[in-house]
Amino acid sequence: MKFAIFGNVRKQALNDVLLLLLQRLNGSGMEYALDDALLPIVADHPELCGPGRIAPREKCLDGAAMLIALGGDGTILAAARTVGTRGIPILGVNLGKLGFLAELAPEELEKALKNIFNRKYAVEERLVLEAQCGQLPGRSMFAVNDIVVNKFRSSRVIDLETEIDGAFAVTYRCDGLIISTPTGSTAYALSNGGPIVTPTSSVLGITPISPHTLSGRPLIVPDTSIVRVIAHAEKDEILLSADGQEEAVLPPPAEITIRKANHTVRLVKRTDRSYFDVLRAKLQWGKDARNTRG
């Protein structure tokens, strides 16, 4: 079994976790390829990782059965973009703060590796969004969390005419619009009043950002839906972004079409923890503040 290893070099905890990971992989006789961005960390430890195991990020994925991403959710989203349509499962180790996508805390890594070596883990398929725009010919933007149509360099609201499967739905007058996957329901959409959606649900979320009408409410549609957004603004440019990692500035009126992509992202999951365990731990979901003394 070969592993590809990516990491966020800006995380202070990366050094210790990466060295521990390499020790365990070497001790088990597993193959691995290390992203060359991590070379400064292992340069002083040639006994752990020789030059033959260090490669450019894309090359690390050749023949890999699993990708281990060390960092926060942003690291995992970036890893998913690199994996693309290859279908390589991603195991996230959280070195950040909330870490909704990351399956493990650093102290859980050793036990999880033993289970992985023994093939005791699950792989969960997560929906990916694809956005296309006539002003970006031949280009698609992909997102695990969300596609966001936003105003750019202005404090004024914009009008976002929204169609579902060719039928006019509503025009949101707001600061922007979030089209989210179930995975992304606990990201930007949640902070704007969207619902929590279990990650394997077959739906898309449409959530306005700071709507200027009381009737501007979030909407849930089937994941087979094709969402078309026409962004109107007088002079303001429109910002189209995918997972906050890929962006394009568009002149209005901008027409964006969002649909389910033909590929998914595969996340490695523990078999002894449910999604609702994660909600309770990460969001203190269901906790009654009245039971806590100040």
Which amino acid, 72?
A: G
Decide: 112 and 118 in contact? Cβ < 8 Å: no
Asked if residue 180 lies in contact with residue 144, where contact means CB atoms within 8 angstroms, the answer is no
Cis peptide before 56 (omega within 30 of 0): no
Q: Which residues pair with 258 in a beta bridge?
A: 131, 227
Instruction: Decide if 179 contacts 261 (C-beta within 8 A).
Output: no
Residues with active-site annotation: 73
Smallest Cα–Cα separation from 160: which of 111, 228, 247, 86?
228
